Amino acid sequence: MIVSLLLPILPPLALSFLLAGLWGPGPHPFRSHPLLKVCLAVGLALGVSSCTYFGWLLIGGPSRMGLMVSESLLAIASSGLLFYVLQKQLFRTAQHSDSTPVPGSDSRWMFGALVACTAVTLVTALTRFMFASLLTPDGDVDAPAIWNLRARFLARGDEQWLDSFTGLLATHVPDYPLLIPASIARWWTYLGDEPAVVPALVAMLFTFATIGLAASSLSLLRGRTQGLLAGVVLLGTPFLIRHGASQYADVPLGFFILATLVVFCLHERAAGHRPGLLAMAGLLTGFAAWTKNEGLFFVPIVILARLLVVVPARGWLTYWDEMRAFAAGLLSVLLIVFFFKIHVAPGLSPILAEQGSATTIERLTDTSRYLEAGQAFFRKAARFGHPGLAVLLIYLLLMGWRTNETDLVGLRTAAVTLGLMLAGYFMVFIVTPHGVRYQIETSLDRLWMHLWPSIVFLFFLFVKTPEEAMAESAGRSKFDVRKFEVDQS
């Protein structure tokens, strides 16, 4: 029963795991950092399969058998190619084994406490997610009104699948991208049925892959304790779990933003130029744009952030080399997004369509809008989830921060990207035609959710690990004792 339910996602998941193994960190494609690769594979699998499903709808129409045959052929060809390349790289040379976990003298009691705490929060979060899904099987308001509704049109629509892009629908948002609806519709098409558990499973995969990705990548980059701490903070953010279970597209977008920043950091740790990792970053950025319109905004921001960070540090040539590999991944998805926006669901998003030069300038020069939006942003930052930024700030003061040359470019990329995203979201609140208060009440929480997992990742990349803080304190205490002895004498 469970196997047959999961069968439609297993082949793309396996293929994506192979891809993550090929391009990902570690000396062995499968055994090194398996959790990190599985989490990346979840996003890649749902992203790639939604694209192939959409492509099949356009080319072959809504034929179940046609979809299965074409995807199977594609899967066999891709896996053959991936296996061939992987065999050649099975045991990578020592120069590629640079992304091994940071050696840390993990304090045993602290590590034990963290493992226990992670287990408790994980079980609670999983239970909460499952019960929330049982109470509202179709998700909260927007899920049946937008995402799952469109999935039904795609899966049930036969030749008229384009009907879901009509203005007749009560929620007229035809230009919303299709990663979530197409993933669900593809899954339903394979099953030949529409169990309500499928959208809940997609939501669950994204929610827990986000947490797993933050924890596993930080384990690799900063040590196990740091990874567990990030995991505990994310698991202890009730809104992440609640909103994940609501089946909106905000948590998946947050996953792709986080995954892009993680892959850039992994690239910095890798010895030499790794075009595969950069192509993967491009692919993940493209999937962000294929998930929500805010993801389209993320694309130029990543490119700009990389320019602002890489060019001063390494020059234009390095940036150009990086962008070529990045664009190879990005364009393969972005072309699908543009085709969808131009041919399937033309038209501007209401927030852009309702702008005019006079009204926009009027809004931009209205200081009360800045004040209202600014206050809301700061209030949200202090109280978002649990723990909010206020608690993280106290933690930072207790632990201190580090400046490590190895991670500096990755860290700056993440910081600049998140800063620009926040600035961009803030400006949306200023120019919104719906009124600042309405926009704050309806979307501020969700916009924070896009960035929160990446903020937590960036924070734990930047802050000292408990081991580093303890080692520093021990070193300082020796110095202090020596000073005390001199004073006594």
Partner 1 sequence: MTSVASSVVKWIGTARPAAGVLLLILISLFSTVKLTKPTEQFASRFAGIVEVVPDRGTLYEHRFSVLRAVLPRHGTVGYVADQDSGYSDETVMAVQYALAPVLVERGPRHALVVGNITQPMTDPQQFLRQRNLTLIKDLGQGVLLLEGAPR
How far is residue 284 from each of residues 163, 254, 429, measured CA to CA in Å? Answer: 29, 11, 26
Q: How far apart are CA 200 and CA 148, in angstroms?
A: 10
Q: Closer CB to partner 1, residue 427 or residue 469?
A: 469
- Dihedral-angle region of residue 477 (phi above 0 means left; psi in -120 to 50 means alpha; beta otherwise): alpha
Helices 238-245 and 108-135: crossing angle, nearest 10°? 30
Q: Which of 445, 417, 429 has the alpha carbon at shortest distance from 257?
A: 417
Rounded to the nearest whole angstrom, what is the least distance from the CB of residue 127 to partner 1 in the complex? 6
Q: How far is the CB of 215 from partner 1 (least distance, A)?
A: 13
DSSP 341: I
Of residues 99 and 246, the one with the C-beta less far from partner 1: 246
Using an 8 Å Cβ cutoff, are 281 and 258 in contact?
A: no
DSSP track, 152-166: HHHHH-GGGGGGGGS
- Least distance in angstroms from the C-beta of 374 to partner 1: 26
The residue among 278 and 389 lying less far from partner 1, judged by its C-beta, is 389
Q: Who contacts 78 (Cβ-Cβ below 8 Å, separation ≥6)?
A: 15
Interacting residues with partner 1 (CB under 8 A): 110, 113-114, 117, 120-121, 124-125, 127-128, 131-132, 134-139, 141, 144-145, 148-149, 152-153, 156-158, 160-161, 163-164, 166, 168-171, 229, 232-233, 235-238, 241-242, 385-387, 391, 394-395, 398-399, 464, 466, 469-470, 473-474, 476-477, 480-481, 484-485, 488
Minimum CB–partner distance for residue 67 and partner 1 (Å): 17
Cβ proximity of 286 and 330 under 8 Å = yes
Report helix, strand or coil for 432: coil
Shortest Cβ 164–partner 1 spacing (Å):
7
**CB nearer to partner 1: pick between 34 and 388:** 388
User: Least distance (Å) from partner 1 to the CB of residue 250?
Assistant: 18
Closest distance of CB 145 from partner 1, Å: 4
Nearer to partner 1, 434 or 476 (CB): 476
Contact 238, 222 (CB under 8 A): no
**Runs of H (alpha helix) within 158-249:** 179-191, 197-222, 224-235, 238-245
Which neighbouring-strand residues pair with 401?
463
CB distance 133 to 208 below 8 Å: no
Residue (241 or 334) nearer to partner 1, CB:
241
Tell the smallest beta-carbon distance from residue 390 to partner 1 (Å). 10
* 462 vs 472: CA distance, rounded Å: 16
Residue with smaller CB distance to partner 1, 94 or 135: 135
